[in-house]
Amino acid sequence: MKFFKKEDKTKTNFLKSKDVRSRKKFLKIIYISVIVILLAIVAFVSYLLSSSSKIFENGLSGMSLIKSLYSKETLKGEKDGRINILLLGVGGNGHAGGMLADSIMIVSIRPKDNNVAMLSVPRDLQVSIPGHNDTKINASTSYGYSDYVKKCSKPNSSACRDEATIAGANLAVETVNETFGLPIHYYVILDFKGFEEIIDHFGGVEINNQYSLSDPSYPCDDDEAKSCGFKLKAGLQSVDGNTALKYARCRKGNCGNDFGRAARQQEIVMALKDKVVSLNFLANPKKVAEISGSLGSSIKTNFATSEIKTALSLFSQLDRDKMISKVLTTGPDGELKDYNNGGYFLMPKTGNFKEIQNLARNIFNLDKVEKPKIEVLNGSKTTGLAGDLAKELEYDNGLDVISIDNAGGDYEKTVIYDFSDGDFPNTLSLIEDKYDIVNVVPETDISKKINKSADLVIVIGNDFKSN
């Protein structure tokens, strides 16, 4: 009896050969699929690089794109507790005076409490533009643009226009920096076309129009020389990019003036922020690609791509209810006055920018700003501390230091002498908290101060620690 059947070698070899062919076919399919996927990824990244590189002043590389998606980089100003961003709106190609800044806004973010402050600057404000004459601040972008175009071998090329737009933004940053005494860490410059498109890409924004608007003089979309008018009903509503632009720009009829539209522009900025955050924009590659592709020539920024994730994270945490909104105006309590200098201009009521600079620096503490006259005396063994502290008090807090000197003695503890009979509690609290000073002495002895008009005298001791 045979317990085993003889193996059919021909059949076995056939099955093995068929199995090998199947595995090879399967591996071939996998291999081709991997190649297709890799090619798709390379194509997508290449598309992002080519379309987005125009947006960023320092360009866009593959590594920076990866970092933008996965890393979190510290922003300029973040360690100092305040990040200042200059938002610039211009007409762009096809608009008269296309590189004049139609909208100028300083957005300041305080990371420690997720607070944001917006300061709108009127375009007619007369300032000193570096390298140019005193003129309206909105000309800074135009001057920077035209200065660059004059150097271009091909002035009408898209590459020249892109670089010229960046030059215009940088001159505006320099102008605002010097005028307001603030370090501007970042800028974003956007033209009207890009403004409309970015809002449409996000499906519109929600606004709450306080009353019905009507501006019969608003220009036509296809011909700015004609008036087509603009109307918008009151109430909470979602608007598309074209309507949002008109809402942000209208300034005649019952739309008010430049000051009224500045407030509406601030509303649009926060509404767009809410929409971007709600859609988790950076986590949506398709949306990134769409917007990058269409906005390459309409928006420029000096944000590095590696900083974008950090910026969006900060924006997502901003508390709209705590937002501080300020528009420089000519009203009874405003900071500006009309000025005729061969045309319509605005200038500070006081004749200089010191009060406006104080406002800009202290915008997060507007309700606490007081104006004591402060004297700083150095009673420590370290030379130069009085001057250093005076600069900090003036620059960081907008306080008025009227004199600095030596105390004429050796103080172990830092002391604040209050000659105001308690008239400046907010200022005292600010200085105490910031510099950890616990010795505040109500004082009537006039010999404690060198400048007789000082309200508060800070005598620096050996324990003093500067920030």
Q: What percent of the chain is modeled with pLDDT above 90? A: 37
Q: β-strand 336-340 against 344-348: which pairing, if any?
A: antiparallel
**How crowded is residue 22: how many other Cβ atoms within 10 Å of its Cβ?**
10
User: Higher confidence at residue 24 or residue 2?
Assistant: 24
Q: What's at 261, amino acid-wise?
A: R
Query: Who's near 264: CB < 8 A, 6+ residues apart?
Result: 207, 247, 248
pLDDT band per the 50, 70, 90 thresholds, residue 28: low
Max mean pLDDT range (7-16, 68-77, 289-298, 427-436): 427-436
* φ and ψ of 72, to 5 deg: -130, 110
Q: Give how far Cα 365 sits from Cα of 182, 305, 315, 361, Å.
A: 16, 32, 21, 9
In this structure, are residues 121 and 140 in contact, taking their beta carbons and an 8 Å threshold? Answer: no
Q: How far apart are CA 225 and CA 218, in angstroms?
A: 10
Closest listed residue to residue 272, CA positions, set 310, 307, 312, 305: 312
Q: Give how far Cα 272 sits from Cα of 241, 261, 266, Å.
A: 11, 16, 10
Mean pLDDT computed over every residue of the chain: 82
pLDDT at 3: 47
Would you kindly state where each structural domain of the chain is located, as residue ranges?
18-52, 67-363, 370-460
pLDDT band per the 50, 70, 90 thresholds, residue 422: confident
Q: Check if 67-363 and 370-460 are the same fold.
A: no
In this structure, are residues 146 and 112 in contact, taking their beta carbons and an 8 Å threshold? Answer: no
**How crowded is residue 26: how many other Cβ atoms within 10 Å of its Cβ?**
10
pLDDT tens readout for residues 154-194: 888 888 998 999 999 999 999 999 999 999 999 999 999 88
* Domain 370-460 classification at class level: alpha beta
Q: Give how far Cα 24 sits from Cα of 20, 21, 33, 295, Å.
A: 6, 5, 14, 46
Query: Who's near 242: CB < 8 A, 6+ residues apart?
Result: 196, 221
CATH number for the segment(s) 67-363: 3.40.630.190
In this structure, are residues 190 and 88 in contact, taking their beta carbons and an 8 Å threshold? Answer: yes
Give the distance from CA 87 to its chain's centroid: 6
pLDDT at 172: 97
Q: How far apart are CA 412 and CA 71, in angstroms?
A: 46
Mean pLDDT of 7-15: 54
* φ and ψ of 9, to 5 deg: -65, -35
Closest listed residue to residue 250, CA positions, set 239, 258, 241: 258
Place of tokens 């399919």: 29
Closest listed residue to residue 189, CA positions, set 243, 256, 140: 140
SS3 239: strand
pLDDT tens readout for residues 66-100: 555 556 688 999 988 899 999 999 988 878 788 99
pLDDT tens readout for residues 199-243: 998 899 999 988 899 999 998 888 787 889 999 999 999 999 999
Q: How far apart are CA 21 and CA 14, in angstroms?
A: 11
In a 13 Å sphere around the CA of 265, the CA atoms on its Cβ side amount to 27
**How crowded is residue 148: how many other Cβ atoms within 10 Å of its Cβ?**
20
pLDDT at 294: 62
pLDDT at 65: 54
In this structure, are residues 431 and 393 in contact, taking their beta carbons and an 8 Å threshold? Answer: yes
- 124-138, 280-294, 305-319, 404-418: least confidently modelled range: 280-294
pLDDT tens readout for residues 304-358: 877 877 887 788 788 877 888 899 999 888 899 998 878 899 999 988 898 899 8
The DSSP output letter for 241 is H
Place of tokens 């104006």: 371
Query: Who's near 218: CB < 8 A, 6+ residues apart?
Result: 227, 228, 229, 230, 246, 249, 250, 252
Q: Give how far Cα 403 sits from Cα of 218, 371, 430, 446, Å.
A: 53, 15, 19, 16
